[in-house]
């Protein structure tokens, strides 16, 4: 990782942790605007890191539910349709 990616990822990690405390699931957008006012390059690295970390979190939650269902014999969770088609 280069310095911009490292800084963006570190800020994303801290912001996602703060979002749980603040209880605002869109707080990262406010941080993004503050960062973007000074450095659009860092803003993009930050937003990329936020999206990747949020997607990884959702993936892990889905995996945990699927494994729990397999262990208990329950029906496996369905993936949202837009995930299956690769759309945003």
Q: How confident is the model at residue 18, as a pLDDT? A: 98
Buried b (16+ CB within 10 A) or exposed e, 35-46: beeeeeebbebb
pLDDT of residue 34: 98
- Predicted pLDDT of residue 86: 59
pLDDT along the chain (88 residues), means of 10: 95 98 97 98 98 96 95 90 61
Question: Encoding tokens for residue 24?
Answer: 């605002």
> How many C-beta atoms lie closer than 10 Å to residue 17's C-beta?
10
Q: What residue spans define the domains of the chain?
A: 3-72
């Amino acid at each position: 990782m280069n310095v911009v990616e490292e800084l963006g990822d570190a800020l994303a990690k801290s912001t996602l942790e703060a979002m749980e405390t603040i209880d605002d699931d869109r707080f990262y957008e406010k941080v993004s605007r503050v960062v973007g006012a000074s450095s659009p390059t860092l803003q993009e690295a930050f937003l990329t890191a936020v999206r990747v970390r949020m997607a990884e979190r959702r993936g892990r939650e889905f995996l945990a539910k699927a494994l729990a269902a397999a262990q208990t014999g329950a029906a496996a969770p369905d993936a949202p349709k837009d995930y299956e088609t690769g759309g945003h």
